[in-house]
Amino acid sequence: MLDKLRKLGNQTFYYGLGSILNKLLGFILIPIYQSHIPIGNFGNLVYFETIIVFLSALLNFGIAPAHQRFFYIEHEKKAYGTYLFNNFFGCLLLATISIVPVLFFSESISSIICKSSTQSVNLQITMWIVVTEIMYVLPLQVLQYEEKPGQYLFFNAVKLIITFTITIVLVINFSLGFEGVMFARLAGGIITLLLATSVIILPRCTFKIELNGVKQAIKFGFPYVISTLGYSLFMVSDRFMLNWLSTDEQLGKYGFGFKIANFINLIFVQTIGMSYFPSVMSNESKADNVRYYRKMLTYYCFFIVLCILSFLFFYRDILWIVGKNKEYWEGLKVVPLLSLSFMIMGMNYFVGVGLFLKKQTFLYVIPSFAAVVVNILMNIWLIPLFGMMGAAYSVVVAQMIYAGLLSFLSSKHLKIDFEWGKIFTIYILGIVFFEASNYFPIQNFWIISIVRLVMLMMFPLILYKLNFFEAIEIQRVKEGFNKVLTKLKVHNQ
């Protein structure tokens, strides 16, 4: 088990680093945002980024998740080249056709969803960004499933460098504001996609039209798209509702807090999920697969709580170095709540494995739409009362409902007795540690930092005293520790 965990950890590290490079742009641009983009205009940027997230999940027509599911199967059949060719270019055709109505009627649509027809150009740019984001997923999946983390890192580094350079030129030199950020994201996406297509996709393609592969992908993925529609609405409804029920400034502050908390999601939660899915399918036919799926959720919760505690203990100190705009900083109030919501969201990769393996993805629609209804109703109630904090409270509750329903439905198709007692212990202990850190009557940075580091070291020790770890797990850790000591002794000699 620990060997599998070690392999998953190595993959998570490399792909996590790749995700950092792919998603780091929003973080390193914080000083640029704060000095060149007013908080209201930043709210507009957040709104268009929300549209990108929503449509990118919707307009791939389920081809991306189907590519994950059938990657090994098509390789075993010696038909992967044809499968990849038809699905990649089929996805490109479907996604492009889907945005055509928005391009033609951008002024009218902009008046409805953006409250101003002057945003029509930005809406058109957004549509093309959606297409590039959708198409960039498949090349990265190929590298991930072929276990080529070096190339994965390279392409994401190229995308980061290109987009960052163009952003600096357009925002600082040409004073284009958030419109410059949008242009740069599109340019960087197109250049990187063309490079990835020529290096990753085309050499692996067998240029033969075979629509059965596309039909198979859509048949598997379409229910996933329907559920994704509900889940995507749920994930973006907080910002949509803030846009409609509050001000651009409130949206901008919330969007800044969301961007900071989303660092946890992009670097840890999504990376773990991305690394986990290949192992789910590779362990599907093994005798200990159920135990593997059960323990992975427990390990995830332990690891992610420790990561989020570390993040919440020090993120303000790090951000203070790169920017001190008070209007932006007010958005940091939502970071702890949104970090909790992302932590719960990550559990979905693990509790929903039964539906994925048993090809019951259409059932995702139930928790998805239940969560979106709850989230919208709570936003209508809480945003007028608490502003951006109301949106944060709503998303946490909705995430809990989604994870709970998904776990219940998945257990009907694959019985996995997750270690809920241990998981609740981890969460409760993490919340206690976070709250305790906020009430220390200490102002000195170095002293409080040492105290927090001690708390982080105490976290696993307290779990150990609570009999969280199994005897075999403790034994394996000791054996691994002894091996490291032995190697160090040999090296020193």
What is the average pLDDT across 487-492? 53
What is the average pLDDT across 154-173? 90
Confidence of residue 477 (pLDDT cuts 50, 70, 90): low
pLDDT digits (tens, 9 = 90+) for 427-459: 999 999 998 888 776 677 788 888 899 999 999
DSSP class of residue 469 equals S
Amino acid at 262: N
Q: How many CA atoms lie within 13 A of 401 on its CB side?
A: 19
Confidence of residue 135 (pLDDT cuts 50, 70, 90): very high
Amino acid at 18: G
Count Cβ atoms below 10 Å from residue 35 Cβ, excluding itself: 11
Count Cβ atoms below 10 Å from residue 196 Cβ, excluding itself: 22
Q: What stretches of 169-324 show up as alpha helix (H) in DSSP?
A: 177-196, 211-245, 248-264, 270-282, 289-322
pLDDT digits (tens, 9 = 90+) for 42-56: 888 888 988 898 888
To the nearest whole number, what is the mean pLDDT of the chain? 82
User: What is the C-alpha separation between 115 and 484, in angstroms, rounded?
Assistant: 61
Token pair, residue 10, equals: 């190595």
pLDDT at 11 exceeding the cut of 60? no
CA-closest candidate to residue 248, choices 446, 427, 43: 43
The conformational region for residue 260 under phi > 0 = left, psi -120 to 50 = alpha, else beta, is: alpha
For residues 252 and 331, the answer to whether their CB atoms sit within 8 Å is yes
Sign of CA dihedral 73, 266, 411, 222: negative
User: What is the C-alpha separation between 363 and 368, in angstroms, rounded?
Assistant: 9
pLDDT at 5 exceeding the cut of 60? no
pLDDT digits (tens, 9 = 90+) for 327-381: 788 888 999 999 999 999 989 888 888 787 777 767 777 888 888 889 899 999 9
pLDDT digits (tens, 9 = 90+) for 244-273: 888 888 888 888 888 888 888 877 787 777
Does pTM surpass 0.85? no
What is the average pLDDT across 213-220? 75
List of long-range contacts for 479-488, beta carbons under 8 Å, 24+ apart = 480/2
Burial class (CB in 10 A: 0-12, 13-18, 19+), 150: exposed
The pLDDT score that the predictor gives to residue 12 is 53
Confidence of residue 489 (pLDDT cuts 50, 70, 90): low
pLDDT at 33 exceeding the cut of 90? no
**Locate tokens 């649509």: which residue?**
109
Q: Tell me the percentage of the chain whose pLDDT exceeds 90.
A: 27
What is the average pLDDT across 383-411? 91
For residues 395 and 386, the answer to whether their CB atoms sit within 8 Å is no
**Locate tokens 């163009």: which residue?**
166
Confidence of residue 190 (pLDDT cuts 50, 70, 90): very high
User: What is the C-alpha separation between 275 and 457, in angstroms, rounded?
Assistant: 26
What is the average pLDDT across 213-241? 74
Across 224-228, 411-415, 435-439, least confident range: 224-228
User: What is the C-alpha separation between 276 and 283, in angstroms, rounded?
Assistant: 11
The pLDDT score that the predictor gives to residue 335 is 92
Burial class (CB in 10 A: 0-12, 13-18, 19+), 110: buried
Across 174-178, 385-389, 404-408, least confident range: 174-178
Confidence of residue 136 (pLDDT cuts 50, 70, 90): very high
User: What is the C-alpha separation between 352 and 416, in angstroms, rounded?
Assistant: 10
CA-closest candidate to residue 389, choices 258, 230, 248: 258
The conformational region for residue 419 under phi > 0 = left, psi -120 to 50 = alpha, else beta, is: beta
The pLDDT score that the predictor gives to residue 492 is 52
Angstrom distances, CA of residue 165 to CA of 127, 176, 490: 22, 14, 47
In sequence order, the 6+-apart residues with CB closer than 8 A to the CB of 181 are 29, 37, 45, 167, 170, 171
Radius of gyration of the chain (CA): 23
